[in-house]
Amino acid sequence: MDQREEDKIIEGITSQEYKEGFVTDIRQDFIPKGLNEDIIRTISSLKQEPDWLLEFRLDAFRKWQSMKMPTWGHLDLPAIDFQDIIYYAAPKKDSDRPKEIDPKLEETFEKLGIPVREREALAGVVAVDAVFDSVSVATTFRASLAEKGIIFCSFSEAVKEHPDLVRKYLASVVPAGDNFYAALNSAVFSDGSFCYIPKGVKCPMDLSSYFRINAAGTGQFERTLIVADEGSSLSYMEGCTAPMRDENQLHAAVVEIVVEKDADVRYSTVQNWYPGDAQGRGGILNLVTKRGICKGSGAHLSWTQVETGSAITWKYPSTILKGDYSTSEFYSVAVTNNYQQADTGTKMIHIGRGTKSRIVSKGISAGHSQNSYRGLVRMNPGAVGARNYSQCDSLLIGSKCGAHTFPDIQSHNPTAIVEHEATTSKISEEQLFYCNQRGLDAEDAVGLIVNGYAHEVLSRLPMEFAVEATKLLQVSLEGSVG
Amino acid sequence: MDSSNSSRAGAAAELRPYSAAAKREWTRPGSDGRPAVILIDSSQQRDFVVGAGEKLDVTFIVLPGTSAEIPVNVDIAGPGAVVNLKGLYLSSGKDQVSFNINMRHHAGGSVSRQLFNGLASGEAKCSFFGKIIVAQDAQKTEAYQENHNIVLSEEALVNTKPQLEIYADDVKCSHGATVGKLNEDEQFYMRSRGIPEDEAKVLQMISFVAPVLSGLEDEILATRIENAIRSLAI
């Protein structure tokens, strides 16, 4: 392939459009801009929250005020004016039909391919909690799940209907003062999903949350809490999109997962927030804290993420392996293009005996993007016979991008074994030539090679997600052949 | 994750400018391409600038009873350079050894290889921080790094942070790090053939450090290393 053709294809990929970038024109309630204790009281009263939750928020806010924005990430983060953000935006409820979903909202989610009405899909049944800006607009299949004792609802409803459960588990994995963004979230979180699987219950369908940012000038601060009681099992999926705007919008979420003895949770994310345009203007700042704890023995938690969106991603889904012989995995594909920046990875904290973890991270960078893997593996003195294996591969497409690997391995135990390896490479001429020779054009060839490269991770996704993720990879990289 | 190695995007700025004058300043062990061995006895920073076609081959050795911080900066300034950096640390008692390697490829077409192996016993604290930086135009760079550690006692602690910062696409870079223990199956094999357990451990440790010392010609130093390993096995 000659240089000119190569350049043309690279240009094609980097000028890819973002399909989900439309804005829904809907009447919305806002609260004033800015952040102070009054705003937090307003959010809390709008949501008719009990006093203990307001106290929790205020306590987190006070902690946040004394904290500084972390700067250790390999990121060029724009200055964020936290007083210039609207912390709560909700679609107006029609007073005549308060129970109905606004048709426009339904249309929006329909357009995004998210069914907010219950129906049998071909690929299988998935229960969805759809969150629009600061509120959850619909949660499907609640009744049929309730028959099995499963609680799946928006976070606000959970606070009203199951206050004991929420109070018991909220901030038990990510304390309010854990880090700057987690503290901010704890102070102003609006809505999210709550899920509780009782003892011994295998959740009959995949549960999923879908987050949509619509209003301008707002931030989204969702809070998800998942509790899997003894011997239960659950597959959970999370997706997200936002309109195209020239401004950066903040998304600071907290996800907490509690996995009790012998329970099994699989958490999958396809993150497709608006990544900004080809010049790096706009896009979502995705600064999230996700953490799970394998509390009891034999617990299992698996994270799978496909990160294609966001101008900036700062995200480290982590597992605390507290129960003996508990296991955890982290599978990640992170794609960055244009001026996107991603600093993502995981933490595996081994506390219990015989705990095992596995990390597979595949980074793909194109355009002018910077893609970093950052991970911590810690073997505590009690982690007798613990085991970790990490593999981080980076693929560079084009000569203007960067790929980085920052692992940190700490071993306090002579019986623990930790292995880490990382490689950096580009798509080889030979591979491209081989595909070209068999009649595939350069673009399809790159798609094929990238999908093969990421296959180990993609194959872990639930089926609906795997199809979407494969398509997203193709779209995100269109035109970046090198 | 801590902030000790904070870095910002566009960190090509971290590639310090170097000058011809600076090049004359560095001490020149191994600069003529002949392997050099440096026995570490105290904390000292070491900077190397390697020009086009030059070779650098240095092995660092830290014996038990030594606590030291060892920052090593290598700047590869021209194409065709070959850098071999090796290290061995044997730590016991309350030793604290920390390596801090910065391998900066300013120019393409060069090769760097790093191999650092360490044994930690007693209450020793060993840390290895190794960064490979490949500048944006340093195409056709090959950079490899390995760090292997064996923890011999309950109280010993090993931290390792191998890092890659790559700003060029046509490169081959990899790093690998392991922390583990002496293999019990191997010990069983040797004991079942009449080799006492302590001797079996010594043999395992010698084979673990051998790749670092493959080119070592200094017999006296080799004997000191063997004695040090024997002292760790007890």
Contact A415 B181 (CB under 8 A): yes
- Chain B residues touching A370 at Cβ < 8 A: 9-10
Contact A416 B149 (CB under 8 A): no
Contact A422 B164 (CB under 8 A): yes
Q: How confident is the model at residue A96 (pLDDT cuts 50, 70, 90)?
A: low
Nearest-CB residue to A424 (from B6, B166, B176)? B166
pLDDT of res. B149 = 96
Question: Is the CB of residue B162 less than 8 Å from the CB of residue B147?
Answer: yes
Residues 6+ apart with CB under 8 A from B207: none
- Chain B residues touching A408 at Cβ < 8 A: 1-2, 159-161
Instruction: Taking residues B223-230, report their average pLDDT.
Output: 93
Assign A411 to helix, strand or coil.
Answer: strand
Contact A411 B163 (CB under 8 A): no
pLDDT of res. A100 = 62
Nearest-CB residue to B8 (from A74, A421, A424)? A74
Give CA–CA dist B12/B30, Å, rounded: 28
Residues 6+ apart with CB under 8 A from A144: none
Q: How confident is the model at residue A480 (pLDDT cuts 50, 70, 90)?
A: low
Of the ranges A21-25, B146-150, B212-216, which one carries the lowest mean pLDDT score? A21-25
Question: Of all helices (H) and strands (E), which one includes residue B38?
Answer: strand B36-39
pLDDT of res. A11 = 55
Contact B9 A381 (CB under 8 A): no
- Chain A residues touching B170 at Cβ < 8 A: 399, 426
- Whether B161 has a pLDDT exceeding 70, the answer reads yes
pLDDT tens readout for residues A210-269 = 888 888 888 889 899 999 999 999 999 888 877 787 888 899 999 999 999 999 999 998
pLDDT of res. A9 = 55
Q: Which residue has the tokens 């959740």?
A: A203
The mean predicted confidence, pLDDT, of chain B is: 85
Contact A418 B178 (CB under 8 A): yes
More confidently predicted of B152 and A110? B152
Q: How confident is the model at residue A468 (pLDDT cuts 50, 70, 90)?
A: confident
Contact B166 A404 (CB under 8 A): yes
pLDDT of res. B9 = 37
Q: How confident is the model at residue A482 (pLDDT cuts 50, 70, 90)?
A: very low
Nearest-CB residue to A72 (from B6, B166, B179)? B6
- Chain A residues touching B136 at Cβ < 8 A: 399-400
Assign B133 to helix, strand or coil.
Answer: strand
Contact A426 B167 (CB under 8 A): no
Residue pairs between chains A and B whose CB atoms are closer than 8 Å: 141
Give CA–CA dist A315/A444, Å, rounded: 30
Question: Is the CB of residue B65 less than 8 Å from the CB of residue B59?
Answer: no
Question: Is the CB of residue A155 less than 8 Å from the CB of residue A193?
Answer: yes
pLDDT of res. A328 = 96
Burial A205-229 (b: 16+ CB within 10 A, else e): bbbbbbbbbbbeebbbbbbbbbbbb
Tokens of A311: 């101008």
pLDDT of res. B33 = 59
- Chain B residues touching A70 at Cβ < 8 A: 3
The mean predicted confidence, pLDDT, of chain A is: 86
Residue of A nearest to B6 (CA): A72
Instruction: Taking residues A190-202, report their average pLDDT.
Output: 92
- Chain A residues touching B126 at Cβ < 8 A: none
Give CA–CA dist A404/A371, Å, rounded: 6
Shortest alpha-carbon distance between residue B61 and chain A (Å): 22
Shortest alpha-carbon distance between residue A12 and chain B (Å): 19
Q: How confident is the model at residue B20 (pLDDT cuts 50, 70, 90)?
A: very low
Of the ranges A2-6, A13-17, A26-30, A396-400, which one carries the lowest mean pLDDT score? A13-17
Give CA–CA dist B142/A172, Å, rounded: 46
Shortest alpha-carbon distance between residue B105 and chain A (Å): 14
- Chain A residues touching B129 at Cβ < 8 A: none
Measure CA A454 to chain center: 18
Instruction: Taking residues B88-116, report their average pLDDT.
Output: 95
Q: Which residue has the tokens 């180990």?
A: A456
Of the ranges A80-84, A131-135, A429-433, which one carries the lowest mean pLDDT score? A131-135
pLDDT of res. A294 = 96
% of chain A surpassing 90 pLDDT: 49
pLDDT of res. A428 = 81
Query: How would DSSP label each residue in A23-68?
Result: -----EEE--SS-SHHHHHHHHHHTT--HHHHHHHHHHHHHHHT--
pLDDT of res. A478 = 65
Nearest-CB residue to B154 (from A341, A414, A425)? A414
Give CA–CA dist A237/A466, Å, rounded: 11
Q: Which residue has the tokens 């080889």?
A: A428
Of the ranges A53-67, A249-263, B39-53, which one carries the lowest mean pLDDT score? B39-53
Q: Which candidate, B189, B230, B186, B185, places its Cα nearest to that of B206?
A: B230
Nearest-CB residue to A374 (from B1, B152, B167)? B1
Contact B162 A405 (CB under 8 A): yes
pLDDT tens readout for residues A141-182 = 888 888 999 999 989 999 999 999 999 999 999 999 999 999
Residue A481: φ, ψ to 5°:
-65, 135
- Chain A residues touching B172 at Cβ < 8 A: 424-425
Q: Is A141 left (phi over 0), alpha (psi -120 to 50) or beta?
A: left
What DSSP designation does A220 have? B
- Chain A residues touching B183 at Cβ < 8 A: none
Question: Is the CB of residue A289 less than 8 Å from the CB of residue A258?
Answer: no
pLDDT of res. B19 = 42
- Whether B27 has a pLDDT exceeding 70, the answer reads no
Instruction: Taking residues B21-46, report their average pLDDT.
Output: 65
Give CA–CA dist A134/A192, Å, rounded: 8
Of the ranges A169-183, A198-212, A466-480, which one carries the lowest mean pLDDT score? A466-480
More confidently predicted of A100 and A403? A403
- Chain B residues touching A374 at Cβ < 8 A: 1
pLDDT of res. B15 = 45
Give CA–CA dist B12/A402, Å, rounded: 10
Kindly report the pTM of this predicted structure: 0.86
Q: How confident is the model at residue B6 (pLDDT cuts 50, 70, 90)?
A: very low
Q: Chain A within 8 Å of B178 (Cβ-Cβ)? A: yes
More confidently predicted of A322 and A278? A322
Q: How confident is the model at residue A124 (pLDDT cuts 50, 70, 90)?
A: low
Contact B1 A426 (CB under 8 A): no
Of the ranges B25-39, B84-98, B186-200, which one carries the lowest mean pLDDT score? B25-39
Nearest-CB residue to A401 (from B160, B161, B169)? B169
Question: Is the CB of residue B128 less than 8 Å from the CB of residue B159?
Answer: yes
Nearest-CB residue to A414 (from B3, B152, B169)? B152
